[in-house]
Amino acid sequence: LKAHALQIGNSGVQVETVQRIVDMLNADVLPIVYDRGSLGASGDLAPLANLFLPLIGYGEVRYKGEKLPSCEVLAKFGWEPIKLKSKEGLALLNGTQFMSSHGVYALIQAERLKLAADWCAALSLEAFAGLDAPYDDRLHQIRPHQGQIQVAAHMRELLKGSEMIAKPKPQVQDPYSFRCVPQVHGASRDAIAYVRSVVETEINSVTDNPTVFPDDDMVVSGGNFHGQPLAIVYDFLAIALAELGNISERRVAQLILGLRDLPEFLVANPGLNSGFMIPQYAAAAMVSQNKMYCHSAASDSIVSSNGQEDHVSMGANAATKLMPLIANLYRLFGIELLNAAQAIEFRRPMKTSERLEGFLASFRKVCPRVEDDVVMYEQMNKAEELIKTFPFE
């Protein structure tokens, strides 16, 4: 991201400086960057200092799995330390690339997680003997939020051809965690799309200072390094992603309550077996933790630099707290998959749709049906891994 920003031509750097960044990346010589110390204004000063110390022969890099002094690795490649010229230090240290890179990563994960959320919800709906009426396209065309329309269509595709969904049901309505999947998942999809638009603008921008306009023979000092556009949308993204986990845990809870002809805690042999009680505990704990990660970083400015930097974005904090939240989401969807797959066993020999049966078959290759109590964390880990690798579409 920094190499791309510098080559736009408004930062005042040597070509060889940008080329060295590219060479290091291509050779998999990766600077060690620490995740604390940026206020998200005046750029990501501390992390970007870590990132570019190796250009001048200082700092550390990771190369071939080892953490090494950068001077040793530069010598291996015959690279002389870059002799920085005027403005180059500022060009390298100023900028929002630490914040931006986290946002790009978070959005890549969000694209997978928004699909996984629908797949797990569809499987849980089948396990709970739920209704498909809430996914009728007519409902969503009269409240035409794009995410809502997309999720409803996706759910219809996932459930197409299912014996279970076609079976008549006695209830008129399902709990909100099943009935309102298009509205909840859809709102998160719309939020993800908006965040993506902001991040795509940011990573194609010049964000160091001062800015050079060579055609006008002008240098202008401004504030493009301020991370407020990112800080606000990362707080927004945290809320949107956390809600996918929040509603997932509610579906898990519904599955273990002993409703709709399912046994309490989904245990085949009740009594001494506690069944699927503890995975829901774990899910509840992670949902609560994710609520903490939704605390607004952008609204928490602290004065720095002796009053010169009197309003800062805290965008780096907004960015880094997305990482554990995303990790929790993979675990939460793994728990939903684990519970839904177990509940489906009590609906056999009826089958769900071809696509969901394929999802179940992949899971059953690594996790068998639970008859008596087992060590649950192993199954939870395998379910999480499938959420990370299954070809959702």
Domain ranges within the chain, ordered by starting residue: 2-93, 97-389
| CATH class name, domain 2-93 | mainly alpha
Enter the DSSP assignment of 356: H
Mean pLDDT to the nearest integer, 281-309: 94
Residue 21 CB-half CA count within 13 A: 17
| CATH class name, domain 97-389 | mainly alpha
124-152: per-residue pLDDT in tens?
999 999 999 999 999 999 999 999 999 99
Residue linked to tokens 């931006």? 100
Mean pLDDT to the nearest integer, 42-56: 95
Mean pLDDT to the nearest integer, 175-182: 98
Mean pLDDT to the nearest integer, 5-29: 97
pLDDT band at 246 (very low <50, low <70, confident <90, very high): very high
C-alpha pair distances (Å), 343 with each of 131, 274, 357: 16, 15, 14
Please choose, from the candidates 11, 384, 46, 74, the residue with its C-alpha nearest in 3D space to the C-alpha of residue 222.
Answer: 11
Residues 102 and 238: their CA atoms lie apart, in Å, by: 12
pLDDT at residue 305 above 90? no
The C-alpha R_g of the chain, in whole angstroms, comes to 25
Residues 44 and 325: their CA atoms lie apart, in Å, by: 22
Token pair, residue 177, equals: 């965690």
- The answer to whether the peptide bond before residue 210 is cis (omega within 30 degrees of 0) is yes
Please choose, from the candidates 170, 210, 203, the residue with its C-alpha nearest in 3D space to the C-alpha of residue 86.
Answer: 210
Query: What residues pair up with 213 in beta bridges, in sequence order?
Result: 218
Q: Structure pTM?
A: 0.95
The two domains 2-93 and 97-389 share their CATH topology (first three levels equal) = no
Instruction: Tell whether the torsion through CA atoms of 354, 266, 382 and 114 is positive or negative.
Output: positive
Residues 133 and 156: their CA atoms lie apart, in Å, by: 10
C-alpha pair distances (Å), 192 with each of 7, 33, 109: 28, 27, 11
What pLDDT, on a 0 to 100 scale, did the predictor assign at position 4?
A: 97
pLDDT at residue 167 above 80? yes
Buried b (16+ CB within 10 A) or exposed e, 297-313: bbeebeeeeeeebeebb
Contacts of 130 (CB under 8 A, 6+ apart): 124, 165, 169, 174, 178, 179
pLDDT band at 158 (very low <50, low <70, confident <90, very high): very high
pLDDT at residue 295 above 80? yes
**Strand pairing report for 218-220 and 211-213:** antiparallel
